[in-house]
Amino acid sequence: MDTRLCRVLVLDNEVFFAQILKELETGKRVTIFAKGWSMLPMIWQERDTLLLAPLSVDSISLGRIVLVKLSDKRYVIHRIVKMDGEQLTLRGDGNPYQIELCTKSQVLAELVGVKRNGKMMMRGSKRWAIFEHLWPRHPLLRRALLRIYRRLNSISL
C-alpha cells in the first residue's frame, strides 16, 4: 500500500492565473480543475478538468465559452450569450438569471475541451453541440431543468 502523503498547494487566484496566462501566451494549452457549479450541467465542479487554449480569431463569438477576468477581479469561465460591439454578455449554463458584462479585451482564453471520467469532450463534437445549442436560454425553463438535473444527480448547492 502506498503511504505517501499528498500535498496540496493553495495559490492566490492572481498568482495561479498569472502562471496560466504565461503558459497561454507561449501558445500552449493549459488544463485546470473546474471550480464552481455555474456551468452545470456541462461542467461539474472538482470532477472535470478544463482545457483552455490561447485565443484565436473565432474565440470571441456567440456560444463560445471563455475565461474572463471581470472588472471586480474575479475570473470566470462562462458562455458568451450576447455581443454588442466591444461589450460582451456572459452567463454560466447553470445560472438561470445572473449575467456578467465584460469587454472583448477582458477575454483571456477559450475553453476547448472538458475531460470527465477519462474522456475528453472537445469543442466541435456532437456532445459539445448538445450543450451549446439545446440547453435552454429562457431563464424559467433553465431554472426548472436545473432543479430536475440537480435532484437526479444529488447535487446540493
Going residue by residue through the chain (157 aa), what tens digit of pLDDT does each one get?
556 676 777 888 899 999 999 999 999 999 999 999 899 889 999 899 999 999 999 999 999 999 999 999 999 999 999 999 999 999 999 888 899 999 999 999 999 999 999 999 999 999 999 888 877 777 788 888 888 887 888 776 5
In the chain, the N- to C-terminal Cα span, in Å, equals 35
C-beta atoms surrounding 102 within 10 Å: 20
CA distance 7 to 90: 35
Q: Which helix (H) or strand (E) holds 87?
A: strand 87-91
Distance of CA 75 to the CA centre of its chain: 10
**Which pTM does this prediction carry?**
0.87
| DSSP one-letter code for 97 | S
List the one residue out of 49, 58, 61 whose CA is nearest residue 122.
49
Domains and CATH numbers, the chain: 13-152 (2.10.109.10)
